[in-house]
Amino acid sequence: MSILYIVATPIGNLQDTSSRAVETLQSVDLIASEDTRVTRKLLSHYDIKTRTISFNRINAKQRTPILLKHLESKDLALTSDAGTPGISDPGHELIAAIDQTMTQVIPIPGPSAVTAILSAAPFPTDRFYFTGFAPRKKVELDQLINTGSVLSVPIVMFESPKRVIGLLSYLENKIPNTKIFIMREITKRFEDSFYGTVTEAKNHFLEPRGEFTIVLAPILESHSTFDLQGLERLVHSLEDSGLKPRDIAKSISSITQMSNSEAYKMVVEGRSAVRDDH
């Protein structure tokens, strides 16, 4: 049986590479990398001579059959540019295509921007919601904030320097007083962090540089600005998760100015409308 190793790589500091990751990258016959140029810097640092092949979102469909053929007789390591493959990075396409009766999948854990920021966040993080890079569309951001409100958990997201001001402006409009913890350039030379309200964060990052990892504290503010369509999408999402109408109504009531009875009526009428459409 061949082995596919899912190898986590440093998110900025090469010294965070585990000895197990180094041994794995040395022992396999081939390394599938998100960007071979990035991976070669890591391999060069540890004097690893293993051959590499690119595997990313652009070529995943074409590369998957090639890598599956390789796994018929040899081991393979899968890496992304930083962190763990499949976590906001390419990787799941290959894993999903594998016959796990013929190939064993073994994770080699390591650096993670998500766990790094959660470990340093100044509020409880035993439960959290991770969304990867922040959604681009306003309607999807609305749904994300609604979900975080209902679950009452911190929301973790990534953002680029070009888009972080737009994200903070949106959040300030919705939840200006919610606490936010931001780390920039985690594990890198110019790493820094910020903790305060959303409004304070927007005023702090006037000329943002580097990659941002963000944690929103559990949202406690009233959200009377949520539109009806946003609430309807949230109701459908909660229904799909298996919640009963009364539980959904309580959740809706907790993030709006609706009473429990008003929210319950909206949920029930929505279900009736769906049945009538069919």
Amino acid 194: pLDDT: 97
Amino acid 72: pLDDT: 95
Amino acid 82: pLDDT: 95
3-state secondary structure the chain: CEEEEEECECCCCHHHCCHHHHHHHHHCCEEEECCHHHHHHHHHHCCCCCCEEECCCCCHHHHHHHHHHHHCCCCEEEECCCECCCCCCCCHHHHHHCCCCCEEEEEECCCCHHHHHHHHCCCCCCCCEEEEECCCCHHHHHHHHHHHHHHCCCEEEEECCCCHHHHHHHHHHHCCCCEEEEEECCCCCCCEEEEEEHHHHHHHCCCCCCCEEEEECCCCCCCCCCCHHHHHHHHHHHHHCCCCHHHHHHHHHHHCCCCHHHHHHHHHHHHHHHHHHC
Domain boundaries, the chain: 2-111, 114-144+154-216, 228-277
Q: Which has more confidence, 249 or 258?
A: 249
Amino acid 89: pLDDT: 84
Span 203-225, pLDDT tens digits: 999 999 999 999 999 887 554 44
Amino acid 176: pLDDT: 92
pLDDT above 80: residue 191:
yes
Averaged pLDDT for residues 253-275? 69
Confidence of residue 161 (pLDDT cuts 50, 70, 90): very high
Amino acid 152: pLDDT: 82
Span 222-239, pLDDT tens digits: 544 455 666 777 788 778
Q: Which has more confidence, 221 or 191?
A: 191
Q: What is the mean pLDDT of the chain?
A: 89
Which CATH code is given to the segment(s) 114-144+154-216?
Answer: 3.30.950.10
Confidence of residue 278 (pLDDT cuts 50, 70, 90): very low
Span 16-71, pLDDT tens digits: 999 999 999 999 999 999 999 999 999 999 999 999 999 999 999 999 999 999 99
CATH class of this structure's domain 2-111 = alpha beta
Amino acid 28: pLDDT: 98
